[in-house]
Chain A
Amino acid sequence: MRITCPHCGNRSLDEFIYLGDATVQRPDPARPDALAAFVDYVYQRENPVGRHRELWYHNAGCHAWLVVTRDVRTHEIFGVEPAKEVSLSEKTTGAAR
């Protein structure tokens, strides 16, 4: 598999480290049901068969965290975005992940 880092270009899989689902969002620790929300955030996964938005770290490259959209059946990659920009825009627009 090859991932096109938006900063570094098209690179081999072994430059990257995988974290997991990018659609879960760290809950507000002050909310009353924080414990349940954190359990969901840390442990529960949709694990879809198909498109998956996921976090990767360009470990052997620019050290950017990336949001990769990928089909987990075919490994086809539809898009790669810098996680920082995704996060910032989600924070401004308040969009749910």
Chain B
Amino acid sequence: MANRTLELRSAVPELSRNSRIGRQDGPARLVVSEMTGLSVVSIAARKGQSGSLQGAVKKLFKIELPNTPRRVEAGGVAFLWAGPDQWIAITDMAVHPDFDRELVAKLGKFASFTDQGDARTLIRVSGPASREVIATGVPLDLHPRAFQPDDVALTHASHIAVTIWQIDEEPTFVFAVARGFARSFWHWLSDSGSVHGIEVSPGT
């Protein structure tokens, strides 16, 4: 991986080691880990090229780019709606170390691309208390009737802009948080989750 010769550092040191936080008795009802080793690229369709972009993406990745706040995944690449005619693509950095350049090469005619792999910290939250804890910061309806796996929302959590999506019915949620705010995000999450007991496992 020629382009990652310098060491990578998490924005949230507290998430880099196993720990149990808050209430100590009983199983932890909130499980948190950082998702590391990912490439993330912002995609914005050029003027009038949204349709062509979607066609090209379909051909290349065998998926339909969502036009609503949803996530689709195929072949190890996930595309998340990120606003009108905008998406973010997420994949494994080990497989796609220069993902932005890859996408420019393949789709540059139709869209603008901006590497965001370092701009955001991705934090995964699961456990039986996850909805209750998240509700203390995120003003969204995350009830299973209203928010389901592969639903995506751009919103804020405790005054911090986030993108949130659900990846399974357990439920597991993922937050993408601006790197500079990640530690404050964690402070809120750990404060709110402490009453339930939090298990932190290091990044994956």
Partners in one complex: yes
Residue of B nearest to A10 (CB): B141
From 77 to 103 in chain B, residues with beta carbon under 8 angstroms from any chain A beta carbon are: 82-84, 86
A27 at the interface (CB under 8 A from B): no
B155 at the interface (CB under 8 A from A): yes
B127 at the interface (CB under 8 A from A): no
**Contact A8–B139 (Cβ < 8 Å):** no
Residue of B nearest to A6 (CB): B84
From 35 to 65 in chain A, residues with beta carbon under 8 angstroms from any chain B beta carbon are: 60-64
Q: Shortest beta-carbon distance, A72 to chain B, in Å?
A: 24
Determine the distance from Cα of A62 to Cα of B86 in the docked complex, in whole angstroms: 9
A75 at the interface (CB under 8 A from B): no
A20 at the interface (CB under 8 A from B): no
**What B residues does A25 contact at CB under 8 A?**
none
**What B residues does A9 contact at CB under 8 A?**
69, 153
B20 at the interface (CB under 8 A from A): no
Determine the distance from Cα of A9 to Cα of B155 in the docked complex, in whole angstroms: 11
A89 at the interface (CB under 8 A from B): no
Q: Shortest beta-carbon distance, A73 to chain B, in Å?
A: 26
Given contacts A7-B83, A7-B84, A12-B139, contact A60 B156 (CB under 8 A): yes
A11 at the interface (CB under 8 A from B): yes
From 1 to 38 in chain A, residues with beta carbon under 8 angstroms from any chain B beta carbon are: 7-9, 11-12, 14-15
Residue of B nearest to A59 (CB): B161
B104 at the interface (CB under 8 A from A): no
The tally of residues in A whose CB lies under 8 Å from a CB in B reads 14
**What B residues does A82 contact at CB under 8 A?**
84
Q: Shortest beta-carbon distance, B176 to chain A, in Å?
A: 13
**Contact B155–A11 (Cβ < 8 Å):** yes
**Contact A15–B83 (Cβ < 8 Å):** no
Contact of A8 among B69, B86, B161 (CB under 8 A): B69
Determine the distance from Cα of A14 to Cα of B158 in the docked complex, in whole angstroms: 11
Residue of B nearest to A12 (CB): B139
**What B residues does A8 contact at CB under 8 A?**
69, 153-155
**Contact A62–B139 (Cβ < 8 Å):** no
**Contact A61–B154 (Cβ < 8 Å):** yes
Determine the distance from Cα of A84 to Cα of B85 in the docked complex, in whole angstroms: 12
Q: Shortest beta-carbon distance, B81 to chain A, in Å?
A: 8
Given contacts A7-B69, A8-B69, contact A60 B84 (CB under 8 A): no
4 smallest CB-CB distances across A and B, nearest first, come from A62-B83, A60-B156, A61-B154, A12-B139
Sample of 24 A–B contacts (CB below 8 Å): A7-B69, A7-B83, A7-B84, A8-B154, A8-B155, A9-B69, A9-B153, A11-B139, A11-B155, A14-B156, A15-B139, A15-B155, A15-B156, A60-B154, A60-B155, A61-B83, A61-B154, A62-B83, A62-B86, A62-B154, A63-B83, A64-B83, A64-B84, A82-B84
